[in-house]
């Protein structure tokens, strides 16, 4: 049996949960142990692409002018592109113009070479092209 506290504890870039556990059922008695589990902020679940590659695409309402990605690309790479409501890649936001991410960080800032147009307030799709990388979250600010 495992019982957890009723909340997660955020400590800087870590999320912790405290728990108690026992190797017996409810109708038996035995020792109970206390424990703690932790993981990096926003990394409880991720989407991982193999070396052969993969894509993740999500539609978002842009709430800022800077795209951030929490991802581990230390053994591969990630490039992003932005797709408009018409299904076409927005000029300046092609994956080929994206500065490729090749590191592990809780907060990568995604940049494109040509300093593309302002997107705040628009509904767009963010398409991440991953090779041997894992993405955990993305957001605009």
pLDDT in tens, 49-73: 999 999 999 999 998 889 999 999 9
Mean pLDDT across 3-26: 91
Residue with tokens 């190797």: 23
**Is residue 22 scored above 90 in pLDDT?**
yes
Q: Which of 109, 44, 107, 38 is nearest to 71 (CA)?
A: 107
pLDDT tens, residue by residue, 26-41: 888 899 999 999 999 8
Higher per-residue confidence, 5 vs 55: 55
Token pair of 51, please? 């070396």
Question: What are the tens digits of pLDDT across the range 83-131?
Answer: 999 999 999 999 999 999 999 999 999 999 876 667 888 999 999 999 9
- Buried b / exposed e along 48-64 (16+ C-beta atoms within 10 A): ebeeeebebeeebebee
Query: Other CB atoms closer than 10 Å to residue 12's CB: what's the count?
Result: 6
Give φ, ψ of 23 to 5 degrees.
-95, 40
Instruction: Give residue 118's pLDDT.
Output: 79
How does residue 25 score in pLDDT terms, banded at 50, 70 and 90? confident
Residue 2 has pLDDT above 80, yes or no: yes
Contact 25, 84 (CB under 8 A): no
| Whole-angstrom distance, CA of residue 52 vs CA of residue 112 | 24
Residues 99 and 111: beta-carbon distance below 8 Å: yes
Helix, strand, coil distribution of the chain in percent, nearest 5: 0, 55, 45
């Amino acid at each position: 049996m495992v019982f957890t506290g009723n909340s997660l504890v955020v400590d800087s870039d870590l999320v912790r949960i405290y728990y108690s556990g026992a190797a017996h059922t409810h109708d038996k008695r035995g020792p109970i142990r206390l424990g703690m589990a932790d993981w990096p902020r926003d990394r409880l679940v991720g989407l991982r692409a193999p070396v052969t590659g993969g894509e993740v695409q999500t539609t978002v309402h842009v709430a800022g002018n800077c795209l951030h990605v929490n991802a581990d690309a230390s053994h591969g790479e990630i490039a992003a592109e932005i797709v408009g409501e018409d299904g076409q890649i927005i000029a300046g936001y092609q994956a080929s113009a994206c500065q490729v991410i090749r590191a592990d960080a809780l907060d990568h800032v995604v940049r494109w070479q040509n300093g593309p147009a302002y997107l705040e307030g628009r509904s767009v799709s963010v398409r991440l092209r991953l090779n041997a990388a894992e993405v955990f979250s993305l957001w605009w600010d």
